[in-house]
Structure 1
Amino acid sequence: MKFINTTKAPKAIGPYSQAVLVGNMLFISGQIPIDPETNELFEGNIEDKTDLVLNNLKNIIEEAGFTISDVAKVTIYLKDMINFTKVNEVYSGFFGEHRPARAVVEVSNLPKNVDIEIDAICVKEGD
């Protein structure tokens, strides 16, 4: 087991790692809209928050030696399902033709009272 950490994504706000690499699988902790340069919450619209969260995930994925095409499963947590369509548009543009398995769940609250959190699991296929 290897713990992954990069300064290109927000520091963990609790007792956990940004990601954990186990064999050919990468488990990425939930990311919320925090600017990795300032470690402050990003204040913007849901589209910009989604873009920031996805890019933070991407930076962790790349730090571990994986790519976006290795993402097998994504879970999106939303405080309000009314944002589903807007989040989906950003998500679709981010992943392009790659279509990982996904769940979107409405929750009553998230860390730091944010609107969105996303986690992911990556799998690197053997050669």
Structure 2
Amino acid sequence: MKDIDMIGSTPLPVTTADAPAAGGHYAQAIKYGGLAYISGQLPIAPDGTHRPEADFDDQARLAIRNLLAVAQAAGSSVEQLLKVTVYIVGIENWPRFNAVYAELLGDIRPARSVVPVPHLHYGYLVEIDAIAACAG
């Protein structure tokens, strides 16, 4: 088993103004070994504006767009998404999420998990994170 230092790759933080800034002790994403590990994206506007009262579909669209913006900043794209994890409040929102997800990802079908949760930070209804292939 190789030591991390021997692999020749250093974890690199990814930052973009096209998605909300990290609000805690974490990076928007970390690139390592040809992968981007994208932190959970809430439906917060890139300028930091909060609208937890927005309807579920609008929240889902914004969270996905934030995720894709971070992926792009990492040198990745929607076509290179490998694994997506979605946290939704209310199991009844699952079909609505599927519709928005299909609208924005089209024929792209990465591996995915959907996790129903009782609540999310700031009262939002959806959060999404991912692992994507990327250059470098």
Same fold? TM cut 0.5: yes
Q: How does 1:19-98 map to 2 (within 5 A)?
A: 19-37=29-47, 39-42=48-51, 43-98=53-108
Q: CA deviation at 1:40?
A: 2.0
Amino-acid identity (%):
37
Partner of 1:3: 13
User: Where do 5+ consecutive residues of structure 2 fail to align?
Assistant: 1-10
Within 2, Cα distance between the matches of 1:77 and 1:29? Answer: 12
The separation in 1 between residues aligned to 2:65 and 2:85, in whole angstroms, is: 15
- Render the CA deviation track for 1:75-100: whole Å, top value 9, x for unaligned: 11011111111111000111111100
Counterpart residue number, 2:5: none
Aligned counterpart, 2:132:
122
- What are the Cα deviations for residues 3-45 of structure 1, in whole angstroms up to 9, with x where unaligned? 00001100111100000000111000000010112x0222311
Please provide the CA RMSD for this pair.
1.4
1:105-124 superposed Cα distances (whole Å, 9 cap, x missing partner): 11122111211100010024
2:8 — aligned with what?
Answer: none
Larger Cα-atom Rg: 2
Q: Distance in 1 between matches of 2:60 and 2:13?
A: 25
Please give the alpha-carbon distance, in whole angstroms, between the structure 2 residues aligned to 1:7 and 1:31.
13
Q: TM-score, normalised by structure 2?
A: 0.87
| 4+ long deviations beyond 4 Å | none
Q: Distance in 1 between matches of 2:87 and 2:50?
A: 17
Normalised by the length of structure 1, the TM-score is 0.93
Give 3-state SS (helix, strand or coil) of 2:25's partner: coil
- Pairing partner for 2:110 from 77, 93, 100: 100
Looking at structure 1, the residues matched to 71 and 39 of structure 2 have their Cα atoms a distance apart, in angstroms, of: 11
d(CA) in 1 for partners of 2:19, 2:115: 23
Aligned residues: 125
